[in-house]
Amino acid sequence: MMQDACASVAADAGQSQPCPLQAALATPRSVEGCDDFCRVALSLLRFIGAAYATGASDCWEAAYRFADEAPGIADSPLLVARAAALVRILRGGRPCELCFMPPSCKRLSKDEAELMRLLAIARRRQPGELESVVCQFVGSGSQDAATRAVNALALC
């Protein structure tokens, strides 16, 4: 039954695309499935998401402090700026708010899992795949800006 649904998605699109259900099931829902860079990026995205949600400047300070203390980060202000740019683009390009968990949470929200998937694809340098997944996440209006922002963060 699932194969029929997946086949119809590919047939409707006219090309071979991953089934949304298979993609959702393949996406890790725990921080444990993320590498060190993605864990740092996730924490920054969560701090920045909290800053937008609450308006508290302490969240921005926490993001910069976390990036400064993270091992292996050469330019922590640039990393925070790129994470903030991605959040800003995604907030403007989606019909609904992004869902971020608290920074210390081990679980991933659906949006966070998708962001980790985007970063993993960008780090593998699969441009065609990244553009397709970004389009599904933000829609076509912000696709180019979001793709550039994901690449910039992933390759920082």
Structural domain boundaries of the chain?
18-154
pLDDT at 19: 52
CB of 2 closer than 8 Å to CB of 18: no
Cβ partners under 8 Å of residue 93, min gap 6: 138, 139, 141, 142, 143, 145, 146
- Give 34's DSSP letter: S
- So what's the pLDDT on residue 2? 31
Relative orientation angle of helices 110-123 and 143-154, to the nearest 10 degrees: 70
- β partners of residue 30: 107
Low-confidence ranges of the chain (pLDDT < 50): 1-16, 20-26
Q: In a 10 Å sphere around its CB, with 0-12 CB exposed, 13-18 middle and 19+ buried, how is residue 123 labelled?
A: middle
Q: Which residue has the tokens 């699969």?
A: 126
Summarize pLDDT for 20-43 with one digit per residue, the tens.
444 444 455 766 777 788 889 999
- What was the pLDDT predicted at 68? 95
Q: Do 25 and 33 meet the contact criterion of CB atoms below 8 Å apart?
A: no
Give residue for tokens 């924490």.
43
**What phi, psi does 107 have (nearest 5°)?**
-90, 155
Number of H helices, E strands in the chain: 8, 0
- Ramachandran angles phi, psi of 2, nearest 5°: -65, -40
Asked if residue 98 lies in contact with residue 87, where contact means CB atoms within 8 angstroms, the answer is yes
Query: Given this model, what pLDDT does residue 91 score?
Result: 86
Is the pTM higher than 0.95? The answer reads no
